[in-house]
Amino acid sequence: MDADVIIIGAGLAGLVASNELVRAGRRVAIVEQENARNLGGQAFWSFGGIFLVDTPMQRRLGVKDSFDLAWQDWQGSAAWDRLDGDLPEDEWAARWGRAYVEFAAGEKRPWLQEQGVRFTPLVGWAERGSGTAAGHGNSVPRFHVPWGTGTGISEPFADKARAAAEAGSVTFHFRHRVDGLIFDGDAVVGVHGSVLAPDDAARGVASNRDRVADFEGRAQAVVIASGGIGGNHERVREWWPQRLGTPPSSMITGVPQHVDGRMLDIAAEAGARLVNRDRMWHYTEGVQNWDPVWPQHGIRILPGPSSMWFDALGRRLPVPGLPGYDTLGTLKLLRTTPDIAQYDHSWFILTQKMIEKEFALSGSEQNPDLTDRDLGLLVRSRLGRGAPPPVEAFKRNGADFVVAASLGELVAGMNALTDTPLLDVGTIERQIRQRDAELDNPYSKDTQVLGIHNSRRFLGDRLTRTARPHKILDPRAGPLIAVRLHVITRKSLGGIQTDLSGKVFGAGGRPIPGLYAAGEAAGFGGGGAHGYNALEGTFLGGCIFSGRAVGRSIADLL
């Protein structure tokens, strides 16, 4: 396995780092505990959205964006507050955050296009925020959708790695699990671990952990690009922050089971400094996958702004609990409100007209039009009659969906999905009628209705993401639909602290010679480039940016 550089993890960050090293003439060994079908990691499964600033796509849709506005949004969302003391946890995180926004407003789009990534004309307005100009959220739409969704981001780099393997510059070591780092003095010079038994499981499917041999590999540098903890509910609960209340007793999982955080613990035991481990990113709009790939497989709904959101007792969520606005603000609401913290679900109530226009599902496999680059299917499914076929499939087969012709039937169906009936039809009807009364005029005092009108002022949302405002109890908009929502685990926002070249800091605050980290394992840069909140489209981008920085830094040194 000896090489110039060993990269732990065959996900997006590791592949980007490998590509930079190969271009510089270095030999790379990529070590991955899963089989070859999993090349590309979590990125392959994602919707693929990319945070970009002031692009031609934005300008065509009438969006005025700038670095200054994006940096204002990023700082308001990050809210870095661990900047004091001898070894501040946010010192390098904030530097990485600014560097990333500069990248997103500069060479990121043309550089990605040079790598083979192609973008659709679609620009989404994800994570609209908490409702203040200086606070969390995107002031303008920045969520750029690539052709191929997540595969359109991961596969160009996977293809480069495969080509490099054929040329002899890269060696893949699948089914090799790293158990520790090898030191020579204070410098990392390699890895050791277990060779796992062959397993021909499909991509994402849980594989065996049967050890059949040991291995050892040495190199001039080692890169940890092993991801976060989203597939390990035990770890998620261990690091769950008190500010978000109590962790749910049951959650669904938005990443494959092998995303277990194991390598983070190994890095810490070897002396690496891990910071901001209590910062994490989980969604509140998860539904159980009716056709699962991994255990407890969940899919996140990417909602438009019109569904009404109710807690487990049938009360409309207050601001910031609006669809598509403030992910962690809503999670905090649901987990810290005393009389509902015992329940692990909430509800959307909407109409057929809303689901047809406003529901998208996160994941490459849930968006065949974009993933397969099928323009005809894209037009038919996004602009034609009816909801996109994957959404209709969930409505028809999903365990969390209820469809009814009347509100009474709908609430009865919702109560049938819980251990005890918690919902009162009269209470829910009163709240819906109050909301519906706000639609008799083109203006309103209701924050959500104001948001719907605001959304339709953006051409992209009016065409593809926001239904024409209508009353939920209008029978012409029916049938009525309810969706039981679960917390779905996803990303770690903290991790291994690194400098801007990706060098890993030790517990004493000095870089560990020969050791680097990138991607989610490094908190997407510096141990927390997002701070407390993400602006969406920034997870894949953070893997790309940190992987590129690490690859270039090591190539310059060797």
Please write the tens of the pLDDT for every residue from 41-100.
999 999 999 999 999 999 999 999 999 999 999 999 999 999 999 999 999 999 999 999
- How many beta carbons lie within 10 A of that of residue 391, not counting itself? 21
Q: In terms of DSSP H, where are the helices of 398-445?
A: 407-415, 425-437
Residue-level pLDDT at 178: 98
- Residue 108 tokens read as 């990121």
Whole-angstrom Cα distance, residue 44 to residue 334?
30
Whole-angstrom Cα distance, residue 269 to residue 259?
19
- Residue 347 tokens read as 């509800």
Global confidence as pTM:
0.96
**For residue 158, what pLDDT band results from cuts at 50, 70 and 90?**
very high
pLDDT tens digit string along 392-411? 999 999 999 999 999 999 99
Q: In terms of DSSP H, where are the helices of 105-232?
A: 108-114, 149-167
Three-state SS for 541-552 is: HHHHHHHHHHHH
Structural contact between residues 280 and 531, judged by C-beta atoms closer than 8 angstroms: no
Q: Which of 6-10, 75-79, 266-270, 366-370 is predicted least confidently? A: 366-370
Q: In terms of DSSP H, where are the helices of 24-85?
A: 56-60, 67-78
For the cut 90, the answer to whether the pLDDT of residue 385 exceeds it is no
Whole-angstrom Cα distance, residue 264 to residue 205?
22
Residues pairing with 505 in the sheet: 511
Whole-angstrom Cα distance, residue 154 to residue 506?
31
Structural contact between residues 327 and 532, judged by C-beta atoms closer than 8 angstroms: no
**List of residues 6+ apart from 489 with CB closer than 8 A:** 230, 231, 233, 236, 251, 252, 253, 254, 255, 282, 298
| Per-residue CA distances from 165 to 189, 191, 198, 301 (Å) | 22, 20, 20, 37
Helix or strand run (H / E) with residue 187? strand 187-196
